[in-house]
């Protein structure tokens, strides 16, 4: 029987491969190789963009921190790096590639969490072999000036830090760039409550999860239950007056999807484990235009029921796209 760590590692690799395969038409627009600010220890204030890191040491990335003067150190450390938003202003979709990080990370842009891999203590789970591709929501970027990337890392034994890879900011080139991506950090809770689908529901105390990705990355081998995802977002004005589709990639196993509290789609072939094919079906749900709030916040709520095996919104693309683009993509 596979160990929990083995299963978790495989799922991290599948998530990493899924994100990377979506980004195969990528152009590096900003290199992040070179000197970063670095400090051992742990303080969540270090994610804030206005934090004064002028007294921090510098470290070269990518490189094991053991080879940069911190030989034998295991524990928490932070990296910080600034970049000019004008260098990415002309692109629609920006991804941050941090290569490979040993062991666990959380990544912030201008104080906003954009992604994570693995689990920090006390429920430690390594993600040393997962490639870090993180989508940066456009609303988190300052396109006219300074931006700050902050990376929180925990390492135990062997090498630590941002250890390898072609690190940098990448622009995506594909037909899906005409839409808005919703990959990254979503709210998550196990169970079911009828009010969870409502736009007015307060989910501030919920946990978070990376989408797309199997739920095994939450540290639990078997789910066979119902759970909820929620995503808050503002609509991209470029999409106004177009027929739109919410694409949620593939979900294991069954789902009901709500936009601002209204059901817009569901997939459930009613078959048992081993016979059901819902898990391999792309979720593409047309969005009734009257449901969209163009002036403020929108909320997607996804009720997922797992019948065994893997679970979750496990493969992208995930986002809102013009209907004509999705028709071509699915063909």
- The per-residue pLDDT for range 53-87, each reduced to its tens digit, is 999 999 999 999 999 999 999 999 999 999 999 99
pLDDT of the residue at 37: 98
Q: Which residues of the chain have pLDDT under 50?
A: 1-23
pLDDT of the residue at 8: 42
CATH assignment of 178-330, among 2.40.10.220, 2.60.120.260, 3.30.300.160, 2.60.120.1440: 2.60.120.260
Query: Around Cβ 145, how many Cβ atoms within 10 Å?
Result: 8
pLDDT of the residue at 13: 44
Domain residue limits, the chain = 26-173, 178-330
pLDDT of the residue at 215: 84
Tell me how many degrees the CA angle 240-246-251 measures, rounded to the nearest 5. Answer: 170
pLDDT of the residue at 14: 45
161 Ramachandran zone, left/alpha/beta (phi>0; psi -120 to 50): left
Q: How far apart are CA 35 and CA 60, in angstroms?
A: 5
CATH superfamily label, 26-173: Galactose-binding domain-like (2.60.120.260)
Q: How far apart are CA 211 and CA 98, in angstroms?
A: 18
Taking alpha carbons only, the member of 215, 134, 132, 182 closest to residue 283 is 182
Q: What is the pTM of this model?
A: 0.85
Cα 315 to chain center, whole Å?
A: 12
The token pair at 306 is: 């797992």
Q: Taken in order 167, 171, 174, 176, is the CA torsion positive or negative? A: positive
**Would you say the CATH fold of 178-330 matches that of 26-173?**
yes
pLDDT of the residue at 216: 67
């Amino acid at each position: 029987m596979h160990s929990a760590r083995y299963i978790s590692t495989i799922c991290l690799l599948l998530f990493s491969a899924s994100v990377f395969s979506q980004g195969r038409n990528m152009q590096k627009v900003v290199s992040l190789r070179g000197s970063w600010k670095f400090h051992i220890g742990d303080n969540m204030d270090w994610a804030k963009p206005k934090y004064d890191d002028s007294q921090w040491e510098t470290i070269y990335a990518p490189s094991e921190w053991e080879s940069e003067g911190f030989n034998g150190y295991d524990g928490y450390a932070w990296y910080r790096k600034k970049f000019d938003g004008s260098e990415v202003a002309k692109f629609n979709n920006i991804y941050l590639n941090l290569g490979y990080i040993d062991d666990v990370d959380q990544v912030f842009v201008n104080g906003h969490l954009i992604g994570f891999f693995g689990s920090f203590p006390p429920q430690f789970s390594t993600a040393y072999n997962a490639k870090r591709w993180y989508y940066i929501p456009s609303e988190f970027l300052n396109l006219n000036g300074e931006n700050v990337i902050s990376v929180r890392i925990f390492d135990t034994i062997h090498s630590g830090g941002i250890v390898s890879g072609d690190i940098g900011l990448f622009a995506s080139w594909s037909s899906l760039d005409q839409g808005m991506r919703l990959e990254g950090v979503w709210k998550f809770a196990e169970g079911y409550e009828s009010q969870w689908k409502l736009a007015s529901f307060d989910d501030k105390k919920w946990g978070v999860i990376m989408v797309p990705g199997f739920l095994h990355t939450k540290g639990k081998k078997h789910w066979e239950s119902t759970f909820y995802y929620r995503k808050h977002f503002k609509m991209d004005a470029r999409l106004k007056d177009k027929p739109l589709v919410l694409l949620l990639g593939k979900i294991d196993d069954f789902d009901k999807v709500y936009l601002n509290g209204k059901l817009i789609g569901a997939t459930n072939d009613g078959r048992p484990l081993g016979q059901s094919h819902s898990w391999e079906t792309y979720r593409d749900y047309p969005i009734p235009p009257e449901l969209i709030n163009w002036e403020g916040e929108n909320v997607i709520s996804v009720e997922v029921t797992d019948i065994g095996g893997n679970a979750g919104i496990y493969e992208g693309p995930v986002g809102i796209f013009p209907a004509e683009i999705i028709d071509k993509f699915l063909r």
